[in-house]
Structure 1
Amino acid sequence: MNAAPDAIPLLDLSAARRQDGAFDPGFVEALRDASHRVGFFQLTGYGADMAEVDQLFDVTRRFFELPLESRLELDNRLSPHFRGYTRLGHEVTRGRPDAREQLDFGPERPAVDHYPPDQPYWLVQGPNLLPDQALPELRPVCMAWAERMSRVGAELLAAIAVSLELPEDYFAEPFQGSPAWMAKLVHYVGGVVADAGRQGVGAHADYGFVTLLLQDQVGGLEVLPPGSDTWIPVEPIPGALVVNLGEMLEVATQGYLAATIHRVEAPPPGVDRYTVPFFWSSRLDAVIDPVPLPPALAAWSRGISDDPHNPMLASYGANVLKGWLRAHPEVARIHHPELIRTNE
Structure 2
Amino acid sequence: MNKATSFTSVPVIDVSGLRSENAADRLAVANEIGKAAREVGFFYISGTGVDPALFDGLLDATESFFALPLQEKMRSYIGLSQCHRGYVPTGEEGFEEGTPDLKEAFDTALDLPADDPDHLAGNPMLGPNVWPTLPGFADTVTAYYQAVLDIGRQLLWAFAVTLGEDPDTFLRYATKTPSQLRLIHYPFNPANEDAIGIGAHSDFECFTLLKPTAPGLEVLNGAGDWIDVPPLPDTFVINIGDMLELWTNGEFVATTHRVRKVKEERYSFPLFFNVDYDTVVQPLPQFTSSDRPQRAPLRAGEHLFAQTAQLFRYLRIRLESGDLALPDGSLPVGSFGQEARQRA
TM interval, shorter chain, is: 0.7 to 0.9
Q: Once the 2 structures are TM-superposed, how far is the Cα of residue 129 of structure 1 from its aligned partner?
A: 1.4
Unpaired runs of at least 5, structure 1: 305-311
Larger deviation, residues 146-155 vs 328-337: 328-337
- Identify the residue that residue 47 of structure 1 maps to in structure 2: 49
Deviation by residue 1:51-88 (Cα, 9 ceiling, x = unmatched): 22222211111111122222111011211322100111
- Distance in 1, Cα, partners of 2:313 & 2:24: 46
Instruction: For 1:205 and 1:272, locate their aligned partners in 2 and report how far apart those are by CA, in whole Å.
Output: 24
Q: Over the residues paired in the alignment, what is the CA RMSD in angstroms?
A: 2.8
8 Å Cα contact 1:99/1:190 also seen in 2: no
The answer to whether 1:233 aligns with 2:228 is yes
Amino acid corresponding to residue 258 of structure 1 in structure 2: V
Change (3 A) 1:73 1:197: farther
The reply to whether residue 199 of structure 1 matches residue 196 of structure 2 is: yes
| 8 A contact 2:210–2:271 mirrored in 1 | yes
Q: Measure the CA separation in 1 of the matches of 2:56 and 2:120.
A: 41
Contact 1:89 1:193 survives alignment (8 Å): no
1:113-135, Cα deviation, whole Å (9 max, x unpaired): 665xxxx7x2222222111x2x1
Asked whether the 8 Å contact 1:99–1:193 carries over to 2, the reply is no
2-structure distance, mates of 1:211, 1:193: 30
Map of 1:105 onto structure 2? 108
Counterparts of 1:294 and 1:84 in 2: how far apart (Å)? 39
Kindly provide the amino acid, as one letter, of the partner of residue 32 in structure 1: G
- Aligned to 2:79, the other structure's residue is in SS state helix
CA distance in 2, matches of 1:53, 1:92: 27
Code of the aligned partner of 1:184: R
Counterpart of 1:130 in structure 2 is 131
Task: Evaluate the alpha carbon distance shift between residue 7 and residue 212 of structure 1 in structure 2; reply closer, same or farther with a 3 A threshold.
Answer: same
- Cα separation, partners in 2 of 1:321 and 1:206, compared to 1, 3 Å: same
With 95-104 and 55-64 compared, the bigger mean Cα shift is at 55-64
Stretch of structure 1 that moved more, 275-284 or 105-114: 105-114
> In 2, distance between residues paired with 1:186 and 1:222?
16
CA shift digits 1:106-154 (9 cap, x unpaired): 1122364665xxxx7x2222222111x2x12111111111111111111
Q: CA deviation at 1:237?
A: 0.7
Q: Tell me the amino acid that sits aligned with residue 100 of structure 1.
A: K
Scaled by the length of structure 1, what TM-score is found? 0.85
1:159, distance to aligned residue in structure 2 (A)? 0.6
Q: Which moved more, 1:96-105 or 1:234-243?
A: 234-243
CA drift of 1:17 comes to 4.8
**Closer, same or farther: CA 19–80 of 1 in aligned 2, 3 Å:** closer
Q: Which amino acid aligns with 2:224?
A: D
Q: How far has the Cα of 1:292 moved from its partner?
A: 3.1
Q: In structure 2, what is the equivalent of residue 307 of structure 1?
A: none
The residue that corresponds to 2:38 in the other structure is 36
CA contact (8 A) 1:46 1:152 kept: yes
Note the 1:169-318 alignment, pairs <5 A.
169-176=168-175, 178-191=176-189, 198-216=195-213, 218-225=214-221, 227-268=222-263, 271-293=264-286, 314-318=298-302
SS at match of 2:164: coil
Q: With the length of structure 2 as denominator, give the TM-score of the two structures.
A: 0.85
Offset from partner CA, 1:266-298 (integer Å, 9 cap, x none): 523xx3100111011111111123213379xx8
Is contact 2:281–2:297 with CA below 8 Å preserved after alignment? Answer: no
Which amino acid is 2:218 matched to?
Answer: E
What corresponds to 1:155 in structure 2?
154
* Native 8 Å contact 2:119 2:126 kept in 1: no
Paired with 1:51 and 1:283, the residues of 2 have a C-alpha distance of: 29
What per-residue deviation string (whole Å, max 9, x for no partner) do you get for residues 168-193 of structure 1?
111112112x1221111000124389
| Partners of 2:276 and 2:294 in 1: CA distance | 25
Q: 1:284 to 1:341 in 2, by over 3 A?
A: closer
Does the CA-based 8 Å contact 1:92-1:326 persist in structure 2? no
Aligned to 2:342: none
Query: Does the CA contact (< 8 Å) of 1:88 and 1:193 recur in 2?
Result: no
Identity of aligned residues (%): 30
Alignment CA distance shift 1:147-1:341 (3 Å):
closer
Structure 2 Cα separation of the partners of residues 266 and 61 of structure 1: 21
Q: Which residue of 1 aligns with 2:335?
A: none
Change (3 A) 1:294 1:105: closer
**CA apart distance, 1:89:** 2.0
Cα contact 2:283–2:294 (8 A) shared by 1: no
Deviation at 1:245, TM superposition (A): 1.1
Per the TM alignment, residue 23 of structure 1 is displaced from its structure 2 partner at its CA by 4.8
Q: Tell me which moved more, 322-331 or 274-283.
A: 322-331
Query: Following the alignment from structure 1 to structure 2, what is the Cα–Cα distance between the partners of residues 237 and 302?
Result: 39
